[in-house]
Chains A and B, each alone.
Chain A
Amino acid sequence: MTKETTNRDVQDLYPESDAATKRDLEGLANSISQFRSAVHHVAARYADSTTGWGFEQAEARRWSAQRHAVLQWAVAMALCVAVLVPAVDFYREHAAAVKAEQQAQLLKQREADTALLDQVSSELSATVPDSMQPLAEMDSDYASYETTGETKNGRN
C-alpha cells in the first residue's frame, strides 16, 4: 500500500470534504503511511534478532506458560484462603461474643423483672390497713360469691 493508496483510502471515508479538510486528511494519510513504515521496520528488526521456530521449543514454551498461569491462580487462591479464613474466624468469634452479651443482658433483665414481680406481690400480700378493711371484705365476699355461683351454674 503506497502513500497515495492510503490517502485515497482515507479520503474515501470522508467523501464530502472541503479543501482544508482534504489537506488535513492528506496529512493524516501521510502520518499513517509513516506509521506503517515504522512498524514494518521495527517488526523486521525484532524478527531478525529472535530465534527460529521449532515445534518442541514452542510446545515447551506453551506448557511452561500454562504451568505458570496455573501457579499464578494457585497462589492467588491460596492468598484468598489465607485472608478469608482468619476473617471468617474473626467474624464468628465476634458474632458469638455479641450473642453471649445479648443473652447475659436478657438474663439480667429477667432477674430484674422477677425481683420487681416479687416486690409487687409482697407488697400486695401485705396486711390491709384498717381504713381499707371494708373494701377488702367486700372483695373477698364477692370472690367467694362468684366461686359458689359458678359451681351452682355448673351443676345446673
Chain B
Amino acid sequence: MEQIAASELTAPAREQAVLDLADFDEVVRLYRPRVFRFLLASLRDRDVAENLTQDCFLKAYLGRAHFRGDSSLSTWLMKIAMNLVRDHLRSRRMRFWTKTRETALDPIDVSDWVPDGRSSPEAELIARTEVQHVWRAVSELPAKQRSVFVLRFVEEMELKEIAELTGMNPSTVKTHLYRALAAVRENVGGRQ
C-alpha cells in the first residue's frame, strides 16, 4: 500500500486503508520505521525524531475518524510527519535560547553505518567520506528542498506522491528537487 498514490486507490483499497486504522498497533508496526527514518533524515536528531514519531502516531490515532481514505495511509502519515517537522523547525527558531542537543547525529556516526562489502579499506574510506559530504550538504539545504530530497532519495517516493504529500505542483516539486540536487552536487564537488 505504501507506494500507491491516492488517485490510484480503488474503493475497496480505500475501505481497507480506513479499516487498517482499526488495528492501530499493526499500523504503527508497519509504518513506524518509515516515519522515524524520514524524521531522522530531516531533523538529524535521534531524540527529536523519536518524540515526533510518537506525536505523529498519536495525532493519527486521535484523528483517525477524519481519515477518509482519499490518499494512502502511508501518504497520510507522512503528511502528518511533515507538518510536525515544519512545526518543530518553526518552534526551534522561536526558542533560539535552547542549546544544540547532545543527541544530534554526527555525519561521522552516520558514515559508520555504510554497509560493508567494499573491495578495499580505501574504497570503504571513500564511501564513508562521500556519505559525510552528502549528509552535510543535505543538512545545509533549505527546509522544503531538504524534505523533497529526503522523500525522493531516501524514502524513494514518486514525484506525484511527493506533490500530493507536500501540496505542491509536480513541476514545483521537480524544481525543488533540481535545486536541492544542484546544491548537493556543488557542496559534494567542492569538498572532494
Contacts and interface: CB of A to CB of B under 8 A. Distances in A.
24 contacts: A1-B156, A6-B153, A10-B181, A13-B177, A24-B185, A28-B181, A31-B134, A35-B154, A36-B153, A36-B156, A38-B114, A41-B115, A42-B113, A43-B36, A43-B37, A46-B40, A47-B32, A47-B33, A47-B36, A52-B28, A58-B54, A58-B57, A61-B54, A72-B95
Interface in B157-192: 177-178, 181, 184-185, 188-189
Contacts of A62: 54-55, 58
Contact of B110 (A6, A38, A55, A72): A38
A38 B184 contact: no
A42 B189 CA distance: 25
On chain B, which size bracket covers the interface? 35 or more
A30 B177 CA distance: 17
Nearest to A6: B153
Closest 7 CB pairs of A and B: A43-B37, A41-B113, A35-B134, A1-B156, A31-B130, A58-B58, A58-B54
A39 B41 contact: yes
Interface string B127-145: 1001101110010000000
A59 B55 CA distance: 8
A89 B71 CA distance: 59
A61 B134 CA distance: 33
Contact of B54 (A30, A35, A53): A53
Contacts of A43: 33, 36-37, 40-41
Interface in B38-80: 40-41, 46, 49-51, 53-55, 57-58, 61
A69 B50 CA distance: 18
Contacts of B185: 24-25, 28
Contacts, number: 110
Interface residues of A, number: 38
Interface string B100-115: 0000010001110111
Contacts of A39: 37, 40-41, 110, 154
Given A50-B50, A62-B55, A44 B184 contact: no
Contacts of A52: 28
A32 to B, nearest CB: 5
A24 B189 CA distance: 9
B135 A35 contact: yes
Interface in B76-91: 91
B50 A36 contact: no
Contacts of A1: 153, 156
Contacts of B32: 47, 53
A84 interface: no
Contact of A31 (B28, B113, B133, B152): B133
Given A9-B152, A13-B177, A58-B55, A38 B131 contact: yes
